[in-house]
Structure formats: C-alpha cells, structure tokens
Amino acid sequence: MPEEVIIALDAMGGDHGPKVVIPGAEIALQRHPGARFRLYGDAAAIDAVLASHPRVAAVSQVIHSDVVVRMDDKPSQALRRGRWRSSMWLALDAVKNGEAHVAVSAGNTGALMAMARFNLRTLANIDRPAIAAIWPTLRGESIVLDVGATIGADARQLVDFAVMGEAMARALFGLERPTVGLLNIGVEEVKGLEDVRTAHQLLRDSNLPIDYQGFVEGDDLGRGSVDVVVTEGFAGNIALKTAEGTAQQIGQYLKDAMNRTALARLGYLLASGAFKALKEKMDPRRSNGGVFLGLNGIVIKSHGGADAEGFASAVGLGYEMVRNGLLEKIVADLGDYHKERRSMVSPQANSVAS
Amino acid sequence: MPEEVIIALDAMGGDHGPKVVIPGAEIALQRHPGARFRLYGDAAAIDAVLASHPRVAAVSQVIHSDVVVRMDDKPSQALRRGRWRSSMWLALDAVKNGEAHVAVSAGNTGALMAMARFNLRTLANIDRPAIAAIWPTLRGESIVLDVGATIGADARQLVDFAVMGEAMARALFGLERPTVGLLNIGVEEVKGLEDVRTAHQLLRDSNLPIDYQGFVEGDDLGRGSVDVVVTEGFAGNIALKTAEGTAQQIGQYLKDAMNRTALARLGYLLASGAFKALKEKMDPRRSNGGVFLGLNGIVIKSHGGADAEGFASAVGLGYEMVRNGLLEKIVADLGDYHKERRSMVSPQANSVAS
C-alpha cells in the first residue's frame, strides 16, 4: 500500500483548465498510486471532465470556486480579485491548513507567487522565496534557482538559495552531497559583482556541509558541471528562457535540414528511432515544474501551456518532493545555517546582529 | 580596385597566436581583397608563419613586440605588464594614432577591454563601453549588447547601448530602421527593475529615430524577434554562454542519437548533406567576433580558441564595420541623442542639467 500524498490542484489554472489538469492527474496517478487529489475550481466544469476519468474521480474531492485568476492578471489584480476565494488561493490554503501536502497550479507565475507569499508566508529568516527549475544537462539533471521569483538577491539571500537548492537536490536526486555552484561571468575584476563575490566567500568559508564548487558560467548549465546552480532571479530567468529559445531554434534548424532533400527525408526515416530518442531527450514536458522554495509549504508551478503529459510531470514532482521530505530538509538546513550565521556575527559585531 | 582598410592584428592573441592569426588573415584577404594588415608581436614567430603565406606577407607590415598579454592575466596585471609595449596594446595604439582603421585580437577579453578603455577612451558622454555579439537567429542574425563589458548598466547607459547597437545594425545588416528591444523577464510588478523600466520609458518617449519595440524575453533571442537586443552585461553574458552551452548540449545529444544503432548510422549517412548544412548553421565560427562599442575606435574581440576560419570571421567583421562607417554612425547618433537629452532636461530642472 503506497503512502498517500494529498495534492491540491488548481483545476482552473493554465491555458486549458480541467481539460488538461484532470488527464494530467490521471497520468500522475498511474505513476504514483498513492496520490490523492483535491480539485479546486468550477465544480460543473470539473465534474464534466471527471466523468470520463473515473480513476481520478475515485481519489479526488472537488471543492467549488467561482473565481479564476486569469493568465494575464497582474499579481496585484490577482490578489485583489482572487484572495480568499479563487481556485488558486484555495489550493494554496489547503497546504496552509494541512488539508494537502503540496499545491500544483499552471496559473500565472506572478499571481501564484504573490498569493503563495501572502498566504503561506516565507520561512523564518527567509526574506525572499525562489523558484527552482529542473534543468536537463549532459550529465542528467541539475537544479537552477532563482529563475524569476525576485530580482537582485543580495549575498545572504544567494546563500539561502544555495542551502535550499542543495536540500532539494538531495530530496529529488537522492544524492548525499550534491555539488553547488554560483553563476557568474568569466571576467574577473569587474565592478558590480559585490553580492556574488560576497556570497562566494560566505559559501567557501561556511561550516555548512555543502559541497561548494565555486563559480560556474552560463555554458556550465547545459554541461551539468554542478548539481545546483545558484543565481539571482533576473539572470536566472533570462538563462532559462534563452536555453528554451535556443533548443526550439535548433529543433527548427534540424526539421528544416531533414526536409531539404528526398535523401535527407529517407535518412530521417531510417534514423527515426534515434530522432524519437532525441526528441524525448529535448522534450520540455519531461522537466516541467518550477518549485517555489522558501515558503511554509511546497508549491509547484506548471507551465501555463503544458499538456496533460507536462502537467503530470509537475504533479509527479510535487509528489516526490513530499515523499522525500523536501520541506523538512530545508527547514533543518536553514535552521543550522542561520544558527551558524548568528554565531559568526554576534561575538565581534553586536550592531550587526539582530 | 577595392578601398583599403588597414587592420591591426594582435598576432600573439588567443590560444594559438600567429599560427591561427595569419592563416585567418589569409582567408579574410581572399574575401576582402582591400584588407591590409599591421601584425604586432614576436617578429621571428610572425615571419616564420608569413613565409608560407606570401599573399598575407605582401599586404602586411610586421611591428615587433616582446611582450605578450597572457590569456589568464587579470586586467590589472595586463595593464601593468603590457601597457605601452605588448602586442595587444600596440594594435590598439595603431587605431588611436590613425595607423589602422580597426584592431582585432583573440587575446583575453578583460585585458583587451581594460587596455582599449585606457588607450582609446570612451566617446564623449559615454561612461561605459559595451561588447556587442552577433547572435544567429531563426530570422538571420541579431545584435545583442552588452554581453559582458561591464555590469549593472543604469537606464541612460542602456539607452546609449540601444543607440550604439542600432547604428551597428544599420552598418552590419544594411537595414534602414532596425528594430530594437530591451531584455526583461516576463513577470510584471517585480521590484528591482527600475533601471530597465526607466530605460523603457526613455526609449518609448524619445524623439530618436529608433524603431523601439519594447520588452523582449530570453526566448526572443533565438527567435530573432528584434534586430537589436539591449541588456546590461551580466545578464547578457549569461544569456550568451547559456545559448552556446545549450547548442553544444543538443549537438552532443544529436551525435549520440545518430550513433545508437546501425540504422541510425545509415540514416545519418543518407542525410549527411542535411547534417552538413545544419552543422554550418550551428557553427559558432560563423558569428565569431564581439565588437567593442563606445570607444574612440573600433576593436574586435575574437574567441580565444578560434581557428583560422573563426579568426577570419572576426577580421571580416572588422573590415565591414570600417567600410560601412560604424564609428561615424555611432558618433552622429550619440550626438543627436545627447543633444536631445540635454534639451529635455534643462528647461525644467536646472539642478539636474550639467
């Protein structure tokens, strides 16, 4: 009998709502029979889809909500209109109230983060949450954070990201000592990098059991040089989108090349198994799901345009994070780190300690 | 009779020195018969290679220098050791003194930028130079700047980058009104973006003849949504390296996939023409060469590891930039812009005008 994990689903989130969320839940349920769902949203719309997904219906509870956060709502609008009552808010609320272990939404990122901060609050000693992305690499997968929760993290916040990302790598990849790197650019002695350099010193000199490998650059991301790459959210988001764009671009080049001549098309047919494997490797659905870290609860953001397969990945990610005790690991590690930080600061500088 | 363009080459720069620089110059000379070279570096080493490249020798002058800036010299070390006398410095000096129209070096970026700033100085009203990269896109090529000259450009510096990048797009692509976008991340209402938002307002409200299209995101780079993408150097460098890394990663996936089975290998053979076209499309040598903008002279940085083909691209880029009057275009446009800026500021706010 698998252990039950209760997953709160914002059934109205994303470009397709219940028509993707529920088939996605079905795929996730096949992979993780211990999953149980709480479905938040328009009950009539949800029930209509559930009718053809009896296996999901059997493990789900539907909680009606009239209010949907739109994909183009600004965070402030979403909070104004959707607080207390939207499907997104209620899914987060279930995590807060202990009715669910994790919330998954394909709704808009800014609104979901604003609501998650407002409702779940950040963990003790954490000012800024981060969004962690799972990045396919030549060595397997890495975790990259922050990919856009906030902008301009300072040195201590970057160290917090390192601690949280390292805990996630242990939970997700089952590694005992994941390696951690700090994203930087190659040129030394450039002004303006104070926060990145200070974070580098803090990580290098800390007594935390983190396997810190130093600076990495943009091309280390695809190489998988480290298991966890730490950066502030502006650069992280641009890196993520740039990689997605480049993959699409090369996919298009490849498609064009294989359609150029009859011989190329024949070659393509013969090698179709290889192309299929390549396509699977490059499939963005496999690594769909950003994890919000630094909150009192686990929240997974699926791509808004994800199909059922993609949404199932996000749901499966939430399931794994709960089963592997992500939140407990993060809370324990942050506790250790902030204890160390206080002990490092207080003896010599009372004015800095608070 | 083609017009002569005198190109100062740091013959000792890069991982391979004259063994790549001179064969590269030969390829560039075939493409641009008007090129003339001044070769700076160890005369014995240069002459040894020139002996087997008589066509380059016929249009070159060798200027001896004992001092080589090393690839791992920090900018401050390079300036200390190499000022006044290194091959890199002397190549830049030739531009300053009017002995050459453009300098090309495959030496280390930080040292080259530090020396270029020190020797050539920035243009009037420009605080920060930028490095402009030529980015292959689905639509052709775009210009992206800054990709790492400095970090944390403020709003006015971002506008300067837009003006300079737009001038370069006219010079390089022959466009009358290139489109310009500002790199941003999708989430609105996030704190910390003041400079990007202010630059957005300045570009939107300016009377400059710039076809400003607003914000673009990381995935617009490969798509080629605009001709010129403006960003500060940290995010720009990370985007550039991330794209390079992703292209390598997918190239490796493709190679692995095509070697998986005998059928895949056969398909690969049949489609080899298509794969060759793809490889050429993805060849980083085609777009080798970062252009330093904002200085009193044009400087081209080639990849340190470039081969002769790659170095020839950088030399060709320098040739084109001179022939198409890049520097004159930039100086004229910046003059217009700074005149407008003064007239916008002075009437109402004397304390701000300076």
Contact A257 B275 (CB under 8 A): yes
Best residue of B74, B79, B184, B253 to probe chain A, by most A CBs closer than 10 Å = B253
Name the pTM for this structure: 0.90
Is B117 inside any structural domain? Answer: yes
- Looking at the fold, whether A140 and A277 belong to one and the same domain comes out as yes
Contact B233 A282 (CB under 8 A): no
Contact A274 B258 (CB under 8 A): yes
Tokens 């994990």 map to which residue?
A: A5
- Looking at the fold, whether A274 and A299 belong to one and the same domain comes out as no
Residue B43 burial (CB < 10 Å; 0-12/13-18/19+)? middle
Residues of chain A neighbouring B263 (CB-CB closer than 8 A): 270-271, 273-274
Q: Order of strands across the sheet with A60-64?
A: A60-64, A35-41, A5-10, A102-105, A298-301, A290-293, A130-137, A140-145, A228-230, A179-183, A211-216
d(CA B215, CA B182): 5
d(CA A13, CA A29): 19
Using alpha carbons only, how large is chain A's radius of gyration in Å?
A: 21
The pLDDT tens digits of the residues spanning A296-354 come to 999 999 999 999 999 999 999 999 999 999 999 999 888 888 887 776 654 443 333 33
Nearest to A116 by CA among A288, A326, A294, A236: A294
Task: Report how far apart, in Å, the C-alpha atoms of A55 and of each of A6, A48, A312, B191, B218 are.
Answer: 15, 14, 15, 44, 40
The pLDDT tens digits of the residues spanning B271-314 come to 888 888 777 777 777 778 899 999 999 999 999 999 999 999 99
Is B337 inside any structural domain? Answer: no
Tokens of A147: 């990919």
Whether the CB-CB separation of B312 and B31 falls below 8 Å is answered with yes
Which member of B151, B246, B274 has the closest CB to residue A247? B246
What pLDDT score was predicted for residue A208? Answer: 82
Which residues make Cβ contacts (< 8 Å) with residue A55, sequence separation at least 6?
A26, A29
Nearest to B106 by CA among B278, B293, B277, B315: B315
Q: Tell me which residues of chain B have a pLDDT lower than 50.
A: 1, 346-354
d(CA B213, CA B211): 6
Is B196 inside any structural domain? Answer: yes
Best residue of A184, A219, A283 to probe chain B, by most B CBs closer than 10 Å = A219
Angle at the Cα of B242 from the Cα atoms of B240 and B243, rounded to 5 degrees: 65
Is B62 inside any structural domain? Answer: yes
- Looking at the fold, whether A47 and A30 belong to one and the same domain comes out as yes
Best residue of A131, A250, A281, A286 to probe chain B, by most B CBs closer than 10 Å = A250
Nearest to B149 by CA among B120, B182, B107, B109: B109
In A, minimum Cα distance to B269 occurs at: A267
The pLDDT tens digits of the residues spanning A148-162 come to 998 889 999 999 999
Residues of chain B neighbouring A222 (CB-CB closer than 8 A): 242, 245-246, 248-249
Whether the CB-CB separation of B16 and B46 falls below 8 Å is answered with no
* Other CB atoms within 10 A of residue B265 CB: 14
Contact B274 A264 (CB under 8 A): yes
- Looking at the fold, whether B133 and B264 belong to one and the same domain comes out as yes
Given a cut of 80, whether residue A283 has pLDDT beyond it is no
- Looking at the fold, whether B137 and B259 belong to one and the same domain comes out as yes
- Looking at the fold, whether A222 and A73 belong to one and the same domain comes out as no
CA distance B55 to chain A (A): 36
Q: Residue A2 is which amino acid?
A: P
- Looking at the fold, whether A6 and A39 belong to one and the same domain comes out as yes
| Mean pLDDT for the stretch of residues A270-295 | 83
- Looking at the fold, whether A344 and A211 belong to one and the same domain comes out as yes
Which member of A243, A269, A278 has the closest CB to residue B246? A243
Residues of chain A neighbouring B150 (CB-CB closer than 8 A): 190-192
In B, minimum Cα distance to A238 occurs at: B218
Is B354 inside any structural domain? Answer: no
Eight-class DSSP state of A287: G
What pLDDT score was predicted for residue B278? Answer: 78
d(CA A4, CA A35): 6
What's the farthest any 2 CA atoms get from each other in chain A?
A: 76
Contact A250 B249 (CB under 8 A): no
Contact A257 B281 (CB under 8 A): yes
- Looking at the fold, whether B68 and B98 belong to one and the same domain comes out as yes
Contact A274 B281 (CB under 8 A): no
Domains in chain B: how many in total? Answer: 2
What pLDDT score was predicted for residue B350? Answer: 39
What pLDDT score was predicted for residue A337? Answer: 82
Is B107 inside any structural domain? Answer: yes
| Mean pLDDT for the stretch of residues A241-266 | 88
In B, minimum Cα distance to A190 occurs at: B150
Is B342 inside any structural domain? Answer: no
What pLDDT score was predicted for residue A44? Answer: 97
Is B349 inside any structural domain? Answer: no
State the ipTM, two decimals.
0.88
CA distance A309 to chain B (A): 22
- Looking at the fold, whether A207 and A279 belong to one and the same domain comes out as yes
Contact A218 B244 (CB under 8 A): yes
What pLDDT score was predicted for residue A345? Answer: 52
The pLDDT tens digits of the residues spanning A176-203 come to 999 999 999 975 555 568 899 999 999 9
Contact B274 A261 (CB under 8 A): yes
- Looking at the fold, whether A147 and A219 belong to one and the same domain comes out as yes
Which residues are B135's β-sheet partners?
Answer: B142
Contact B191 A151 (CB under 8 A): yes
Contact B277 A257 (CB under 8 A): yes
* Domain region containing B77: 1-121+295-323
Best residue of B190, B197, B216, B269 to probe chain A, by most A CBs closer than 10 Å = B190
Our CA dihedral for A338, A340, A342, A347, rounded to 10 degrees, sits at: 180
Tokens 């060469």 map to which residue?
A: B289
CA distance B84 to chain A (A): 21
Contact B260 A244 (CB under 8 A): no
| Mean pLDDT for the stretch of residues A243-256 | 89
- Looking at the fold, whether A91 and A11 belong to one and the same domain comes out as yes
Contact A267 B271 (CB under 8 A): yes
**CATH number for position A272:** 3.40.718.10
B289: region left, alpha or beta (phi > 0 left; psi from -120 to 50 alpha):
left
Contact A187 B109 (CB under 8 A): yes
What pLDDT score was predicted for residue A234? Answer: 93
CA distance B311 to chain A (A): 21
Residues of chain B neighbouring A262 (CB-CB closer than 8 A): none
Tokens 């080493």 map to which residue?
A: B45
Which residues make Cβ contacts (< 8 Å) with residue B310, sequence separation at least 6?
B24, B284, B285, B288, B302, B303
Given a cut of 80, whether residue A286 has pLDDT beyond it is no
Contact B185 A241 (CB under 8 A): yes
Residues of chain A neighbouring B221 (CB-CB closer than 8 A): 242, 245-246
Which member of B242, B252, B277 has the closest CB to residue A219? B242
Residues of chain A neighbouring B185 (CB-CB closer than 8 A): 148, 151, 233-234, 237-238, 241
What pLDDT score was predicted for residue B189? Answer: 54
What pLDDT score was predicted for residue B206? Answer: 85
| Mean pLDDT for the stretch of residues A235-247 | 93
Contact A270 B266 (CB under 8 A): yes
